[in-house]
Amino acid sequence: MKRRDIAALAVFAAVLLVFWLAMDHLTSASDDAELNLVRDAVKNAALTCYAVEGAYPEDLAYLREHYGLGYNEARYMVYYDAFASNVMPDIRVVERGRSTP
């Protein structure tokens, strides 16, 4: 092989590496945005329930049934801890199969 061919191959490999890293970064940012959307949807449904009924719901099933809450349950786990009917519940969303640092 000529030096010119080796240099062209190295440039091509570098371009592929940069492209792969950029796609990985975009995918990660998109996943984080979707996780925040699920968290916001649960929080907004709970706040709507509180505004309409004067109490936060005891569980997610109530929000699904009465306020149309929906999310990809196969992809996300939602932890909804209602302490009291007049205290905002603790809401945490975790993507299934994703390791957390």
Structural domains counted in the chain? 1
Residue ranges making up the domain that contains 87 = 3-95
Whether residue 49 contacts residue 62, with contact meaning beta carbons closer than 8 Å, is answered with yes
Tens of pLDDT, residue by residue over 6-48, are 877 877 777 777 777 777 766 666 678 889 999 999 999 999 9
d(CA 25, CA 78): 25
The answer as to whether 46 is a domain residue is yes
The answer as to whether 56 is a domain residue is yes
Tens of pLDDT, residue by residue over 47-78, are 999 999 999 999 999 999 999 999 999 999 99
The answer as to whether 100 is a domain residue is no
The answer as to whether 28 is a domain residue is yes
The answer as to whether 23 is a domain residue is yes
Question: Any idea which residue has 């809401």 for tokens?
Answer: 91
Find the DSSP H helices in the chain: 3-53, 60-67
